[in-house]
Each structure stands twice: as C-alpha cells, then as structure tokens.
Chain A
C-alpha cells in the first residue's frame, strides 16, 4: 500500500489544479507564465496556495547576512543585471518562496477543456499514421524481477508439482523454483493513429505590433496544447507573410517583423502548396490558423483569397480558423469580407475577433468549441 502522504499529495495536486482552473483567465491573459519543460511537462507558478498567516511584510524587514562587503553593496552579490537604478521589482525572490508546480500536458489540457467546456475532437478520415507501441500483454520465461508475474509463476509451480506428483492436498504448499518463474513480456504492436497538422499563418506586416504578436503566441500555445492532447502525433508548420509568404520555424515566426504591405493570398497560396505537397487530406486532419489585423492590400487580393479558401483550403481542412487581432492600424476589413461571404456560422470556417489579451480565452473557445 502507498504511504498515506501520497493521498495528501494527490489532494494537493487537486487543489493546485482547481486553483489553476479558477485563475485560468489570468494565466492565459498574462501569456508567458506557464513554462514548457521538455515536451510534455509544464511548470506553473502558484503565487498563493500556502496557508495565510500573520507575518511581517518582507521589504520593510530586511535581514542579516554574512560575508564581505561595505555598506551599500547589494546583498545578492551581483550588480543589478539591468544596470539601471530606480527599477521597481528587482528585489524579488528575496525571501519570496514561490511555489512552482509541474503539470503534464494532459492535466493542463484537461483544465483548459473543463474550463472552456471544449468538446473532444472527432477526427475525420481513417487512422493512417502507424506508430509502434510496446504493450505488456505477453508472458515470458525470462525478465527482470520487477516484472515477475506472481499468479502465473505459482500456477506454473502448481502444474509442475501436480505433474511430478509432489503436490500434497493435505499440505498445499506451492513453492516455485527457478524455472517456474514467469514474467510479463512486451508485445510490439502497430497502432494506427489519426494524424494532424496545424498550419499557422500570420501577418507580419508593419501594422502588427508586439502586443498583437504576443496575443498570437499565447493563443497558439493553448491551441497547440489542446490539439496535442487530442492527437498523439501532431505536426506544426509556420508561415509568415506580408506581401509575400514564406515558411519559417517557430522562433522566426514569433520574432519576425516586416514592414511592407499585405497580400493575404500569398499565405493562402503557400498553405495550399504545403497541403498539396505533404498532407493528403484523406489521411490528415488539417487545421489552418490565420492571424492578422484584417488589413489586406486590395479588394482584388481578397477576392483571390476567398477563391483559394473556397476551392482548395476549406474542402480539405477540418476547421479553418481566422483570428483577427485588433490593432490601432488595422482596418479589420478582412473579417467583414469573410463574414459577408460565409456568414458567422460556417461548418468549416471559424472566425474570431481578439480585442486584447483578455479576449484570448474566449477566442480559443470559439476556435475549438466545435469539436472538429
């Protein structure tokens, strides 16, 4: 039996998850608080889970230390990394024991799903991706002690004793010997998975500022989280565009800033090419996401975009999502154009306007709420 502290521990985890759920809006709107650790773990800072007590305010209290130095030297022994006196929060970390908890991708995604009441995604198409998994469904005669199968071992011993006539019903002691030992053994199986690809497209023209990009970054973090929890293997592609489009890696995607004009069709064309080249729509679940501030160069180009959507992208996608991030310079015209053509409730096209960071959560719900 497990030590009772494991129960305390799972109780603690439950409280933590409840806290994250309660504060999800805050976590989402403040972007970078949740830090990915490795591929499927996340560290989440928890400010106040500890039991409140009457205690002294930290800053007025100061403290005592030991070591060299003269009056006025900083105690942390380092120069202020910013080199700028007068900055507010530099004293943080001093006596400030912040709790960090680790959550797995599944746990975090479940919190998101519960809070937004997201339906599970129904993948389309047949399972096409082969993945090899080892499952302990077999029994072998060799193996490590930790995998010893007691029941089978004793059964084997009993069989041996009966067949050798050493089994005595009066004294039913069954004593396994070395060659009775049985171990769980793995069988290699090929499982078929649903394959999914997310294609992010973002307008990086001059009118998309840092704040807009931060919104896109945060939103894509949560969208990825959810889709990753729904599909075992997922590919993510990134396209940036202004007047021309190119495929980039994740890092570049969030950091690039161009000036220049905007031709949305360039991105859609590239998206189409990528899909045609790499992702057979019969086998892949395809999720194109496009974020922009809604400015497009010309009505002609918009027409071209709609054509591309109509003819190629929409038919192959599970769900095409267009997120319009409000910016001071953007006209927001593209949203209107899309609404005019497809209406606000289309099967395969989801539109969402993101006013500011607080709007991210609602927008995620709009995108993923369809369960496709």
Chain B
C-alpha cells in the first residue's frame, strides 16, 4: 500500500517556485522530491527515523505509540520530515495549510543544501533508503532462521551500546583505509580488518561480504580454539565499541552481522546529531529569508509570523536549536557584513564605536556559506558565540539545587554559558567511553573507560548497560569511571554489579 504520494498540481508549482528562489540565493542541493502523506504516515516515518522501511523492532512501535498519542491529544504535530539521501526525500503533511507548506518547502531546501555541503555529511551513504530496506530484509531473515525473540533480544543488547561511537570514523575514507590496510599487510601482521572495507561497493554488498569474510575466517580458525582467544588484542584502544565487538567478541555470524547493521545505521545518523543547531539554524535561516523576501504573499504575513514564532519559541529548560542556530547564523552574517571581527575590532575598547562599527565589507553571505560547509555544532559555538550574543539571547545555565530541590538559574556569565554549551555538545551529548582493554586482569574481561569531564554517569543505567554488554562479551565486563569524585571500576560478572575500587 502506498502511503505517500508525489506532489502534484499547485504543490508542484509551488515546489518549482521555491526551488527557483533557492537557486537564486545560491543554495546547492541534491534533487528534491516532495511527497504528501497523512498524519498517521508521518508518525510512522518519524518513528522510523524518516525511512519507510526499517528492521522490525518494538522501539519503533513505542515511538509510534508516543507520536500518535502526542498528535491525538494535540500536544505535538510533525509538519515535515526530511532525510539525507540523494535525491533528497521530504514528506509534507497533507493537512498542512498553504503557508505551512511554503515554510516547510523553503526549510527543506535549507536542510538539503546542508546535507550536501556540510563536511561531516561528506561520507554518509546517500542511498540509505535502499540500505535500510536491505537491513530490514536481512534481519527478518535472521528472525525466520534463529527465532524472532532471539534476534530481537540481541538487537536490544546492541542498541544499548549504539551511542558508543567514534566521530573520527566519519572521516574514514576508502583511501585512508586502503593505505592503512597496505601498511598492515606490509607489516605482515594477521589482519582482522579484511580487505572488504577498502572499496566503494554498496553498503549492503559490503555487509554481505562481511558475513562471508567472517565465515571463511571462522572455518580456518575452527581448528584451534586457543588460537582465537590468543589473538584477542591486549591493548587496542577505541571509541568505536561496536566495531570492536564485531571483531573480537565471541559471537555468531548473524550476530556480528546485526552489530554491523546497527553500527552502520548509527554512524549514518551521527552527523545529524553533531550538527543539530547548525542544521536547524541554517534551514530556518533560509525559510525565513525565502519567505520574507520572496515567497510570502502579503495576506499570509500574520500566519507566517505566528508559525515562525512557534518554531523559534525559547524555553527555559532547553536550548532551542532552531532559535540559537538561526540567531547565530544571522549574527555571523551581520558581523562579517560590517567587518566586526579580527584584531582591530577585538581590541577596540569603545562600546559606542563598536556598535557603530561598519567597514562595509559585505562578506556576510560568503561567510555563512563557508561556516555551513566546514563546522559542526561544537566548532560553530566555540568560534562564533560572543558575550554580546549571549546577552541579547538571554542565555543562562541552570543547575540542580539540592537545598531547594529545584533547578535554578546558575549563571549568565559568558564563559560559563559557553563552557556548558560546549560540554553538552561534546561527543554529541553522549559520555565518551572507549574500550581500554580486551584482556583485563589477564582474564579476558572487557574494560571500558569513561573519560570523565565533570559529569557522572547514571549508575542504574550503567548497570543495565553493562548487563547487556556482558551478554555479548560473555565474560565479565568492567567500566572505569569517576563517581562522586572517586575513581571507581564497576564490575559486572553476569550476576552482580558492584564497584571495585
């Protein structure tokens, strides 16, 4: 059953119109495909990360449940869904009114341009639609063969580790891999990372070959169990925990393949998690620009202002990435238009002079296009957040006050705000955890190290996560971290979770 259909008629005309404006402004995007669907379909798509076909798993059902309820109670509504593929697919809600459709289209061209040009997306697979569908087919086959529950349980375990990624993996190009593989071959070291990764074959094919390669390897190695365990590396340090497990955990073929599948999907979504502020800021900048200077009819202005304000709403509990993103983009444009940067400007001590500062450079547009190409959220904030900006935007940090039992505003100081923002964005908001030792205590135990930057882990979640890791590693697992200012190693041996100091 086709739940989405291509746009036609007036919407198609609108698309051509908006696309014209986007080109006029110099946006550079993948071919754009719009489809319309009803709210139920958009909820399904949103629950599945934007893709029409995913592997079977209850978490999609859970997200769907929540989204449907949110819609039914009028708490939330998804206007649009856009995915990073080429051609770039975007879904419009059938029931949106005309102004909404205009905003959404203009917004989508911003995202599309960002997907195509931002460096962090450079190596994402633009044929992910097919890859996801293939993943679904493979996992369904595994379910038929090994039982629905067994496979689903295993997926649960792997999803538990899905956020343990190494952002540097995003820049692993085939050339890099090849040169490294060559080196390794030269050193004549038995290489775990077989040749299968060193080409540009489609991901689905690669994943199939991965299975084959492991099968071959296993057939070779079966001769001597001892040898397999002996080759477990003693001191590979990596943040790519899933990649490590594929190689070194004592798991079946299909399990390795499932880890590979989930790992690939996690890396596909990673750039979006790293550029939330920029991506939404950029798209909002362009919907605002295109609407206010070109697409908007005079009769639609109030409606547009209303919708736009809704999207930009500030919250005291969270940073709204749309708001911070668009304002920062505009701030950069403004500053580079007037030359408000560099040594001379920074060293100027007169406030009135700084306010009047205008070198008439007109570099703003060029600058923001550069920024959208080469930055991610961290470098974006690090480089362009200014004290003026923080004050204008009324940013503050808050923290939990155990005395009053409330979350209270902590500071409005620039350094504190920047620090907090950066630390929230570090490692896409996830704790940094690396594999430190695969033969901890010389007992084939796994040791993970949490690189502690001042915020403790949630211990209950850590316990449950280690339990899942144990199920994959099948030997005791350990997590080195700091808890309440003390160095501690949490140890999970299959039954009990306890700290060892």
B488 interface hit (Cβ, 8 Å): no
Q: Which of B385-443 contact A (CB under 8 A)?
A: 393-400, 402-412, 417, 420-421, 424, 430-431, 433
Most B C-beta atoms less than 10 A away, residue of A13, A52, A72, A85: A52
Nearest CB in chain A to that of B393: its residue: A66
| Structural contact, A91 and B396, CB atoms closer than 8 A | no
Q: Which of A1-31 contact B (CB under 8 A)?
A: 1, 3-13, 15
B320 interface hit (Cβ, 8 Å): yes
Which stretch in B13-21, B53-61, B93-101, B215-223 binds the other chain?
B53-61
Answer whether A56 and B61 are a contact pair too, CB < 8 Å, given A75-B317, A89-B405, A102-B69.
Answer: no
| Structural contact, A75 and B417, CB atoms closer than 8 A | no
| Structural contact, A75 and B405, CB atoms closer than 8 A | no
Q: Which of A64-84 contact B (CB under 8 A)?
A: 64-77, 80
Cα separation A56 to B417 with both chains bound (whole Å): 19
Most A C-beta atoms less than 10 A away, residue of B159, B318, B468: B318
B163: min CB distance to chain A, Å? 5
A80 cross-chain contacts in B, Cβ below 8 A? 404-406
Nearest CB in chain B to that of A102: its residue: B69
Query: Which of under 10, 10 to 19, 20 to 34, or 35 or more describes the interface residues of A?
Result: 35 or more
Contact of A52 among B48, B152, B405, B468 (CB under 8 A): B468
A66 cross-chain contacts in B, Cβ below 8 A? 314-316, 319-320, 323-324, 393-396
B214 cross-chain contacts in A, Cβ below 8 A? none
Answer whether A12 and B465 are a contact pair too, CB < 8 Å, given A71-B409, A88-B405.
Answer: no
| Structural contact, B398 and A9, CB atoms closer than 8 A | no
B298 interface hit (Cβ, 8 Å): no
Nearest CB in chain A to that of B3: its residue: A3
| Structural contact, B409 and A72, CB atoms closer than 8 A | yes
Answer whether A54 and B430 are a contact pair too, CB < 8 Å, given A9-B64, A65-B315.
Answer: yes
Answer whether A8 and B396 are a contact pair too, CB < 8 Å, given A56-B455, A71-B412, A85-B405.
Answer: no
B318: min CB distance to chain A, Å? 7
A171 cross-chain contacts in B, Cβ below 8 A? none
Contact flags (1/0) for A147-184 with B, using CB distance below 8 Å? Answer: 00000000000000000000000000000000000000
A7 cross-chain contacts in B, Cβ below 8 A? 56, 61
B10: min CB distance to chain A, Å? 26
Nearest CB in chain B to that of A51: its residue: B159
Most A C-beta atoms less than 10 A away, residue of B48, B164, B317, B455: B317
| Structural contact, A86 and B56, CB atoms closer than 8 A | no
| Structural contact, A65 and B160, CB atoms closer than 8 A | no
A35 interface hit (Cβ, 8 Å): no
B43: min CB distance to chain A, Å? 9
Contact flags (1/0) for A34-64 with B, using CB distance below 8 Å? Answer: 0000000000000011111111111111111
B12 interface hit (Cβ, 8 Å): no
B459 interface hit (Cβ, 8 Å): yes
Contact of B458 among A12, A55, A75, A77 (CB under 8 A): A55
Nearest CB in chain A to that of B464: its residue: A52
Contact of B431 among A51, A55, A60 (CB under 8 A): A55
Nearest CB in chain A to that of B469: its residue: A54
Contact of A56 among B53, B65, B317, B458 (CB under 8 A): B458
Nearest CB in chain A to that of B152: its residue: A11
A48 cross-chain contacts in B, Cβ below 8 A? 464
| Structural contact, A91 and B316, CB atoms closer than 8 A | no
A73: min CB distance to chain B, Å? 5
| Structural contact, B317 and A65, CB atoms closer than 8 A | yes
B305 interface hit (Cβ, 8 Å): no
Answer whether A99 and B3 are a contact pair too, CB < 8 Å, given A64-B395, A64-B398, A73-B408.
Answer: no
| Structural contact, B405 and A1, CB atoms closer than 8 A | no
Contact of B456 among A10, A60, A68, A75 (CB under 8 A): A60
A326: min CB distance to chain B, Å? 34
Most B C-beta atoms less than 10 A away, residue of A1, A50, A62, A65: A65
B456 cross-chain contacts in A, Cβ below 8 A? 56-57, 60
Cα separation A48 to B62 with both chains bound (whole Å): 12
A90 interface hit (Cβ, 8 Å): yes
A59 cross-chain contacts in B, Cβ below 8 A? 400, 402
A71 cross-chain contacts in B, Cβ below 8 A? 408-412
Q: Which of B444-469 contact A (CB under 8 A)?
A: 450, 455-459, 461-465, 467-468
Contact of A54 among B152, B163, B404, B410 (CB under 8 A): B163
B396 cross-chain contacts in A, Cβ below 8 A? 64-67, 69
A101 interface hit (Cβ, 8 Å): yes
Cα separation A191 to B323 with both chains bound (whole Å): 60
B47 interface hit (Cβ, 8 Å): yes
| Structural contact, B58 and A67, CB atoms closer than 8 A | no
Contact of B397 among A10, A63, A86, A89 (CB under 8 A): A63
Answer whether A11 and B462 are a contact pair too, CB < 8 Å, given A67-B394, A73-B409, A91-B407.
Answer: no
Nearest CB in chain B to that of A97: its residue: B66
| Structural contact, A12 and B65, CB atoms closer than 8 A | yes
B317 cross-chain contacts in A, Cβ below 8 A? 63, 65, 75-76, 94-95
| Structural contact, A63 and B64, CB atoms closer than 8 A | no
B408 cross-chain contacts in A, Cβ below 8 A? 71-75
Answer whether A54 and B465 are a contact pair too, CB < 8 Å, given A12-B65, A65-B316, A67-B394.
Answer: yes
| Structural contact, A64 and B420, CB atoms closer than 8 A | yes
A251 cross-chain contacts in B, Cβ below 8 A? none
Cα separation A109 to B138 with both chains bound (whole Å): 38
B156 interface hit (Cβ, 8 Å): yes
Additional pairs, 19, CB under 8 Å, beyond known A52-B463, A55-B431? A3-B1, A5-B64, A8-B58, A10-B61, A11-B58, A13-B65, A51-B160, A53-B160, A53-B461, A62-B407, A63-B318, A64-B420, A65-B315, A66-B393, A68-B394, A71-B412, A74-B407, A91-B407, A99-B66
Q: Which 7 A-B pairs have the closest CB atoms?
A: A8-B61, A62-B399, A52-B464, A12-B61, A9-B61, A66-B314, A90-B405
Task: Identify 11 residue pairs between A and B in the complex whose beta-carbon atoms are under 8 Å apart, listed by A's number.
Answer: A3-B3, A8-B57, A13-B61, A52-B461, A56-B431, A65-B409, A66-B319, A67-B314, A71-B412, A73-B409, A74-B406
